[in-house]
Amino acid sequence: MSAEDKEPHGNSVAAWVSVVIMMVGFLVAALAVMKASHTLFYAGIAAVVVGAILWPVLARMGYGDKNPPRSLYS
């Protein structure tokens, strides 16, 4: 299998940045549960939502996969 045949599986700036933001959000929310802090918990959940929204936004700005897979219907 050559390098051109491999699928990228999210190897883009948009994917990495978004996943890191969401992982930090989950970590903050988990720590907030241990400390029983509602404010910190909702801040962590907000970070997860921001990361999820940021992924397609960054991809549309040109930071996504350079060779996205073709749809079966196109």
Query: Which residues span the domain enclosing 16?
Result: 12-63
CA angle 42-25-55, nearest 5°? Answer: 115
Band (pLDDT 50/70/90 cuts) for residue 35 is very high
Look at residue 4 and tell me if it is in a domain: no
Look at residue 74 and tell me if it is in a domain: no
Is the pLDDT score of 53 beyond 80? yes
Give the whole-angstrom CA distance, residue 40 versus residue 20. 18
- And the tokens for 14? 């948009």
Look at residue 33 and tell me if it is in a domain: yes
Average pLDDT over residues 17-32: 96
Give the whole-angstrom CA distance, residue 65 versus residue 73. 20
Give the whole-angstrom CA distance, residue 22 versus residue 10. 15
Look at residue 72 and tell me if it is in a domain: no
Is the pLDDT score of 14 beyond 80? yes
